[in-house]
DNA sequence: TTGAATTTGTAACAATTGATACAGTTTACC
DNA sequence: GGTAAACTGTATCAATTGTTACAAATTCAA
């Protein structure tokens, strides 16, 4: 028996009334598969033909490298769907091998039935589109951020974005350590560059209060990067 | 009058019979807007409420920086759609300001009507999902690649991927210059690291023939990065 | 084959960042 | 208020990459 309440917490069915979900699922084919701890749900590179939603338990995504060792990538817990961005598109294969961490129930629906489901219910359709799109937006923002090479550029971009329209000062809510991690650099390197930028009278950072002294030059840093 | 043939070349309507497209469009609301050269189609940050498909002419996407200057990002020509990954999701705003390069005709359909369209025709639905997904997959591959910090790691990853299952040698079809651009590094730096890796007996590159001497160690490079 | 254009290998030096260490400051909690 | 923990500023040295320059090797077309 499916736990409809749980299914409705999943991004795909969110906002659909519980009895509506029940009615929808009567009109399409789907399966609920049970796995034991340690079972392999999918192998990296395998064609994806079904949407999987974890109903209970958790799974992990692992990559297998060229020499055969496995590296854990991420954990996925109920009630999240698997690989929504890889169901469609030109390269619809599992990017990772998926293994169960414990007893797991998985809701499984084929692509064609999922398409039917989306055509039957516009909320499900919109949910799915929102889900893929949000992920794309998140990744492309991250990519944009990575495109700045030097630490100075990263700081300039981060602060200009944080500042927005504010003319003068604003508060930071992260520590240098956290920023360093966000930027993917070491903490002393970040501190050093911040010092430089203060000496160059580009910014002032006093505790957590940031003041941008020269937005013009901060922008030029991004242009010439 | 709409050029249905052109519309059918667009990723959204691809694979739909021309008369089927005609029939579909009779069932939904849409507009064809005409713009003159230099007109602004959309402003960065503006909410996206319509899918735009360029029917004729071309537009450019520009970002306006914090000081007011504009930087061109890309050109989009007929019959491509605009910002398909930004129509949905949490941040459904134009990432760029869109300006026409010449006389332009744009097919415009609201989100709600687009949803209806996708529910009426499963090919359109699948096309749209494929389109967003492919983009996500492309970007996330790029992101993965950028996650390797040193040039050595990038080379190792690139060559291992190119090699695939082949045990010994294979041919490269790019020049060092092209690889350097792909990696986002300078050509002499790339050449230097390749020399080092040959001295360390990890690889041999003779003209365009690559031989991986120690896949094991190449993999370890990626792990400890 | 020859000659020009492209590609490659390499060197010397500058710039940037990482690694490590340590002392001074701030914050949080008792 | 006091103490421990976390955070910050800074210094030194090593590693990596960028910049610039030049010569050798290769490719391609005439």
Digit-coded pLDDT (tens) for A175-193: 999 999 889 899 999 999 9
**Residue–nucleotide distance: A202 CA to C6 C1' (Å):** 43
pLDDT digits (tens, 9 = 90+) for A91-101: 888 888 899 99
What does pLDDT average to over chain A?
A: 88
In this predicted structure, what is the pLDDT of residue B71? 65
Distance CA B27, CA B24 (A): 5
The pLDDT of residue B62 is 79
Closest-CA residue of B relative to A113 is B122
Give the span between the Cα atoms of A53 and A82, in whole angstroms: 6
Q: Which two tokens stand for residue A214?
A: 């020269």
Instruction: Specify the pLDDT at position B27.
Output: 93
Under 8 Å between Cβ of B92 and B139: no
| CB neighbourhood size of B208 (10 A) | 11
Cα A77 to Cα A57: distance, rounded to the nearest angstrom: 6
Cβ of B160 within 8 Å of Cβ of A89? The answer is no
Taking one residue from A and the other from B, the number of pairs with CB-CB distance under 8 angstroms is: 130
Burial A107-116 (b: 16+ CB within 10 A, else e): bbbebebbbb
DSSP three-state, residue B207: coil
Closest residue (CA to C1') to nucleotide C10 in the complex = B192
Query: How far is residue A86's CA from residue B134's CA, in Å, rounded to a whole number?
Result: 8
Residue A78 exposure: Cα atoms within 13 Å on the Cβ side: 18
Lowest mean pLDDT among A13-17, A219-223, B217-221: A219-223
**Among the residues of B76-150, which ranges form H helices?**
111-120, 122-146
Residue B95 pLDDT level (bands cut at 50, 70, 90):
confident
Cα B43–chain centre separation: 21
Instruction: List residues bridging with B74 in a β-sheet.
Output: B61
Those residues of chain A whose CB sits closer than 8 Å to some CB in chain B are: 65-67, 69, 71, 85-92, 95, 115-116, 118-119, 122, 125-126, 128-130, 132-137, 139-140, 142-143, 146, 149, 160, 163, 184, 215-216, 218-219, 222-223
pLDDT 10s digits, A101-132: 999 999 999 999 999 999 999 999 999 999 99
All residues of chain A having their beta carbon less than 8 Å from the beta carbon of residue B223 are 65, 69, 71
User: What is d(CA B58, CA B79) in angstroms, rounded to the nearest whole number?
Assistant: 9
- pLDDT attached to residue B110: 95
Tell me: pLDDT of A225 over 60: no
Q: Which residues contact B23 (CB under 8 A, 6 or more apart)?
A: none
Is residue B148 over pLDDT 80?
yes
C-alpha span between A129 and A123 (Å, rounded): 10
Point out the least confidently predicted range of A210-214, B55-59, B78-82, B195-199.
B78-82
Instruction: Give pLDDT, residue A27.
Output: 93
DSSP chain A: ---HHHHTTSTTTTTS-HHHHHHHHHSS--EEEEE-TT-EEE-TTPBP-EEEEEEESEEEEEEE-TTS-EEEEEEEETTPEE-GGGSSSTT-B-SSEEEESSSEEEEEEEHHHHHHHHHH-HHHHHHHHHHHHHHHHHHHHHHHHHT--SHHHHHHHHHHHHHTT-SSEEE--S-HHHHHHHHTS-HHHHHHHHHHHHHTTSEEEETTEEEES-HHHHHHHHHT-
pLDDT tier for residue B64 given thresholds of 50, 70 and 90: low
Give the whole-number percent of chain A exceeding pLDDT 90: 52
> How do residues B104-129 score in pLDDT, each as one tens digit?
999 999 999 999 999 999 999 999 99
Dist. CA B170–CA B162, nearest whole Å = 8
Chain A residue numbers with beta carbons less than 8 Å from the beta carbon of B139 are 136, 139-140, 143
Categorize the per-residue pLDDT at B80 as very low, low, confident or very high, splitting at 50, 70 and 90: confident
Q: Mind listing the domains of chain B with CATH numbers?
A: 4-141 (2.60.120.10), 148-223 (1.10.10.10)
List the single best residue of A132, A138, A213 to mutate versus B (max B Cβ within 10 A): A132
First-to-last alpha carbon distance for chain B, in angstroms, is 57
Query: What is the rounded distance in angstroms from the CA atom of residue A225 to the CA atom of residue A160?
Result: 15
The CA distance from A58 to A72, in Å, is: 14
Torsion on CA atoms A32, A34, A35, A41, rounded to nearest 10: -10
CB contact at 8 A, A154 and A189:
no
Instruction: Give Cα separations from B183 to A79, A129, A143, B194 (angstroms).
Output: 38, 32, 14, 13
pLDDT tens figures, B20-42: 999 999 999 999 999 999 999 99
The predicted structure's pLDDT at residue B163: 83
Place of tokens 């749980």: A6
Angle (CA) B35 B36 B37, round 5°: 125
pLDDT digits (tens, 9 = 90+) for A23-78: 999 999 999 999 999 999 998 889 999 999 999 999 988 776 555 556 667 788 88
């Amino acid at each position: 028996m499916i736990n409809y309440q749980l299914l409705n917490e999943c991004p795909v069915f969110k906002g659909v009334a519980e009895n509506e979900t029940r009615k929808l699922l009567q009109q399409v084919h789907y399966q609920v598969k049970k796995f034991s701890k340690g079972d392999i749900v999918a192998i990296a590179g395998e064609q994806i033909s079904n949407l999987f939603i974890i109903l209970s338990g958790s799974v992990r995504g692992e990559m297998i490298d060229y020499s055969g060792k496995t590296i854990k990538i991420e954990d996925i817990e109920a009630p999240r769907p698997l690989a929504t961005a890889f169901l469609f598109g030109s390269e619809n294969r599992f990017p990772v091998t998926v293994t169960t961490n414990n007893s797991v129930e998985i809701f499984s629906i084929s692509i064609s039935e999922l398409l039917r489901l989306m055509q039957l219910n516009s909320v499900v359709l919109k949910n799915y589109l929102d889900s893929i799109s949000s992920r794309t937006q998140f990744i492309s923002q991250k990519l944009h951020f990575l495109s700045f090479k030097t630490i100075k550029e990263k700081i300039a971009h981060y602060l200009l974005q944080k500042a927005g329209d504010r003319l003068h000062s604003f508060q930071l809510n992260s520590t240098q350590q956290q920023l360093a991690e966000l930027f993917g650099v070491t903490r002393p390197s970040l501190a050093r560059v911040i010092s430089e930028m203060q000496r160059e009278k580009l910014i002032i950072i006093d505790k957590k209060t940031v003041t941008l002294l020269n937005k013009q030059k901060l922008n030029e840093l991004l242009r010439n990067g």
